[in-house]
Structure 1
Amino acid sequence: MLLLCCLLPQGAQEQMFPLWLEPPAAVLAAGGSVLVNCSTECPSPSNLILETSLPKQLNGSSPGWATFWLSNLTEDTRIMCSVLCGGSQVTASSNITIYRFPEEVELSPLPPWQPWGQDLTLRCLVVGGAPRNRLTAVLLRNEEELSRQPVIGEPTEVTATVPVGKGDHGANFSCRTELDLQAEGLGLFLNKSAARQLRTFALPMTAPYLEAPRSLEVGTWRPVHCVLDGVFPASEAQVHLALGNQTLNPTVTRDGDTLKATAIVHVDQEGTQKIACNVTLAGVSRYAQNLTTVFSFPEEVELSPLPPWQPSGQDLTLRCLVVGGAPRNRLTAVLLRNEEELSRQPVIGEPTEVTATVPVGRGDHGANFSCRTELDLQAEGLGLFLNKSAARQLRTFALPMTAPYLEAPRSLEVGTWRPVHCVLDGVFPASEAQVHLALGNQTLNPTVTRDGDTLKATAIVHVDQEGTQKIACNVTLAGVSRYAQNLTTVFSFPGPILSLSRTNIPKGSTVNVTCKAGPRAQVILDGVLAPSPGEPAQLQLIATDSDNGRHFICNATLVVAGELIYRSTAVQLRVLGRDHSVTIGVTVLTVLGVVIISGALLYVFGMQKRCGIYHVKQQSNSVPLTAIQSEDTPGEEASS
């Protein structure tokens, strides 16, 4: 209770009346309410009021007192009561203090890893909390108090720096606030942040000890060891072992602060390789590496396929493929003909194609070519290692640029058989050459003979259809051909047909004699030329005795491919008396070609054309007619 004595005005100052304000001082939680009582002993008080900026509500009153409710208090404030007594104003005041617990107490995140021997700065953020003069922040390691500081300002960051050692690994750090309202009888209020665990580490400045082979053979298995002392905590350290770009899968063991990793390396590629060890802890690494030479024998030594046929006199390029084999500066490729060394070259690059160009002659036909590699490791005491490819056999050939000599007839009569010859010199090897003979679309079946480098094919041709036909010869060797062709005219030339109108002719009867041949043949009957080729020649006569034994001759000519072909036939007439029958015998005469040709030409071109009816004398005897027919064979022409 706050009691204030106030002096009365001049002349009544000896009388004093107190004014009370309850509670005289209050400490409230934020948002709380309080009942305030203003009272006085003044015998005639007036205008008793509570002065405050806070919302208030009159609870009760009488001439000497009044009570008020103050609610939802959020800030510290000062309130005052006043009253008029005997013309004078009497006042009394009181302070209301609001307390709050901190809204946030948070220890800032610790570093992921803290090196040994380096100081660590702890930071605690305090937001809210009142009254500030009663608020303290305490920084803790586990339950050990590291720092105690008043909380000043809003918000406040409280800091403390502490040394860190190996023993701090795994320790929990936190921040606690203390709001001390014990003097007001409210007690000591604590707020604590979430704990944060510290991880400390130690990593030596030295590189790991890396034990690795200086040389490796492709396909072999060898161990690699990596050791590092003074690693804490060794259980958290990571070891990365690698061979070139190949990550190894090591077995890691830990003995105190010593870390050891062992891996087995297996190499499939030759060359210089890097074996590396990297130990990482807390984002800090220690690194070591060694170089190792990986050697291997060539995986593949192959001579590229030779051409199916190599022209004699042209250069041949040999190509040898070498895959694998190391070190390259010790590897050599040798190209061989049989066992003769043609070329020796270093093997560079991966893979490598070694080439050499050599002249080729007939003597190389059937030779074996190959490629050999030599890996010289004699300086290392390992010897000279040879790898040899499979041999490839060369086939050479020669074919002249000239066409074959083709001997074939310029004309062929339907139904006849004629030989065709095809000859080509300078063919090597003649035994491998193929000959194709054809008549038009008809493939012939030649007999082929070989005499050294001379090739000869002979076939018999037989044609059943007229027209112009192509006789062709194609000689092929090693996919290269030489070709020749001739054109031959196939013709049909039936011999001339000589006929009489009647077979029984009495003397004095009319006889019609007709001679005809093929559609393009020119015929002459007893010197009478047919009007045009293809038309018959005719004679008409009255049989007399003088016609008995008479010969009628019919000649036919046909021009084929510039050649003149001749045919001839003759009949003999026998005339009998009027009382006897007439028997006509037709005799086919075989006439020599030269005589017929000469006689026909002289007759055709030396005399005028004759036609009409011949009258012959009658004869008393009659003889049967008999026919005789002959053919001439056209000549042959060779072409190439």
Structure 2
Amino acid sequence: MASTRANPTLPLLLALVAVVIPGPGDTQVSIHPPKAFLPRGGSVQVNCSSSCENPGLGLETQWLKDELESGPSWKLFELSDIGEDSSPMCYDNCGTKQYSASAMITVYSFPERVELDLLPVWQQVGKNLTLRCRVDGGAPRTQLSAVLLREGEPLSRQPVDGDPKDPKEITFTLLARRRDHGANFSCLTELDLRPQGLGLFSNVSEVRQLRTFDLATNPKLDTPDLLEVGSQQKFLCSLEGLFPASEAEIYLELGGRRLTQESTNSTDFVSTTALVEVTEVFDRILLLRCVLKLADQILETQRTLRIYNFSAPVLTLSQLEVSEGSQVTVKCEAHGGAQVVHLSGAPPGPPTPQVQFTLNASPEDHKRRFFCSAELEVAGKSLSKNQTLELHVLYGPRLDERDCLGNWTWQEGSQQTLKCQAWGNPSPKLTCSRKADGALLPIGKVKSVKREMNGTYECHAFSSHGNVTRDVNLIVLYYHQNNWPVIIAMLVLVLVVLAVSVAVYIYNHQRKIRIYKLQKAQEEAMKLKAQAPPP
């Protein structure tokens, strides 16, 4: 506890006028000073005087006193080791009567102890916190007050009343906030003796640090209720809006065993994740717990997990690759309580552990996919798994009208593509050659059609499972060329152009002659008119 003490001073004389109490016969007793203000344990000189002719002066007090001096009508006493407020009394036995006068001594002292009670280890944000400040001693109480400090700044002030002999507990109420986390609080007492000309004296308690937290809801657990043997499952637990997140601890437990996990803490968010490989050693039913610890709070979220074992159905074909016309048995089996609910190609029926049927393989069954689905009910939920297989059928080549047309008619010089597709398994090879001379016709390639390609071709498809042929007729359309009509037409065109040119020339020549003759006639007329005598 830090403290500031005032040095003891000599008695303060606050009034220079004596208290006068008149008695019979005008006898008066006075005490000086009538008021005194001094520190506890201090001393003061008191003068008693009387107007009686033969006074019997004395001083009545509870404190130690020494008579320092005296005269015919006065006495000077010194009071020492004054411990509390008191009223010493001067008296005079004048004749058969006693006369008296009292003074008021006020003692001041500083608190012997100022202590702020221990704060709670953690205080929840948004709730009121009561801080208690204990003050021992200190007088006069009318001039003593207590102040609550936060980081040295005053928050609240209250008077300290009551008897200085009794310890006093001052309470302050504070609404806890996030920003109060880590803040230092203390209690300060102030004894204001400035009205008595002394000053303001303070004592301060030791610092107490406050830790606040904010935690409203339970953590959120993200995981499915069902776990399959042989699978890997990621568990996630998180909580946002808490404070301070950096001091929170979060972890996952599965079946009472804490999981290896990775945790993340940010400003107001925490999360943890764990990756679990589900094996046969797990019990069928396990309790998953997410536990979060912050301050003196423990929150948890639980979820019951059911472990199940569900193997995919077994789909089999008696042969995966068969020749056309062979029999194939398709069978689907479910295990572990599961039921086969669908097998493509099988007649409809109720779910059973096994379903099968037989078919005669045809070319249409080549690359046919068979689909089998099984279901298992776990904890009221229906789970399903599927399997697929593909059948391969071997068959000889096919050359159908749809895939290889028998007649083609092309225009000479055009760009064409011969589309002729042979089907079969294994895939057959295809060639098309002209029957007349064996010339090959390209398949699937774009060519400029020539008249020499005209003819009938035999297309032959063959593989290890047989062969097939098909005739293809190709007709090329073209025209014979004759140059005489073109020559005659050009000659006629030249003659027409020549005739038109001659006609235009003759027309222009005649037009110029007429214009010339007209100009000459006009000139002759002008001359004759000029030679004629005037009238």
Question: How high is the TM-score relative to the length of structure 1?
Answer: 0.42
* Structure in which a larger fraction of residues adopt helix: 2
Structure with more strand by fraction: 1
The structure with the largest alpha-carbon Rg is: 1
